Amino acid sequence: DAKTTQPPSMDCAEGRAANLPCNHSTISGNEYVYWYRQIHSQGPQYIIHGLKNNETNEMASLIITEDRKSSTLILPHATLRDTAVYYCIVRANAGNNRKLIWGLGTSLAVNP
């Protein structure tokens, strides 16, 4: 079973910020939070990951709560091309745990 829970769907207006939540209450101390997105009929695309500090890159920002039990992916200015399924995954970066366990993600619809 996936170690994360996400809302099945969200809507966002074009140009506005999209805030996608993720709960990972059983996360272990050595597990990172990864976000990927999958545009219809394509392979998933890596977006961002973090351990406990907030992270930002050219695609998005990742806000992780202090207790690390939840996080939010922020797309600051959503465009129509950001319409996709967004997956939140927790995974250790070391050791024999090389698997990503995928849930159903959040289907984000960016509307004009």
Partner 1 sequence: SQTIHQWPATLVQPVGSPLSLECTVEGTSNPNLYWYRQAAGRGLQLLFYSVGIGQISSEVPQNLSASRPQDRQFILSSKKLLLSDSGFYLCASKGQGVSGYTFGSGTRLTVV
Residues forming contacts to partner 1 in the complex (CB under 8 A) are 2, 34, 36, 41-47, 49, 87, 98-105
Do strands 61-64 and 70-75 pair parallel, antiparallel, or not at all (unpaired)? antiparallel
Q: How far is the CB of 80 from partner 1 (least distance, A)?
A: 21
Given the complex with partner 1, which of 59 and 74 has the nearer CB atom? 59
Sign of the alpha-carbon dihedral angle for 59, 83, 20, 15 = positive
Q: How far is the CB of 40 from partner 1 (least distance, A)?
A: 11
Given the complex with partner 1, which of 18 and 36 has the nearer CB atom? 36
Given the complex with partner 1, which of 67 and 81 has the nearer CB atom? 81
Q: How far is the CB of 65 from partner 1 (least distance, A)?
A: 21
User: Do residues 64 and 49 make contact, with C-beta atoms less than 8 angstroms apart?
Assistant: no
Q: What letter would DSSP give residue 60?
A: -
Q: How far is the CB of 1 from partner 1 (least distance, A)?
A: 10
Do strands 45-50 and 31-38 pair parallel, antiparallel, or not at all (unpaired)? antiparallel
Given the complex with partner 1, which of 3 and 14 has the nearer CB atom? 3
Tell me the CA distances in angstroms from 84 to 48, 73, 87, one per residue in order: 15, 13, 10
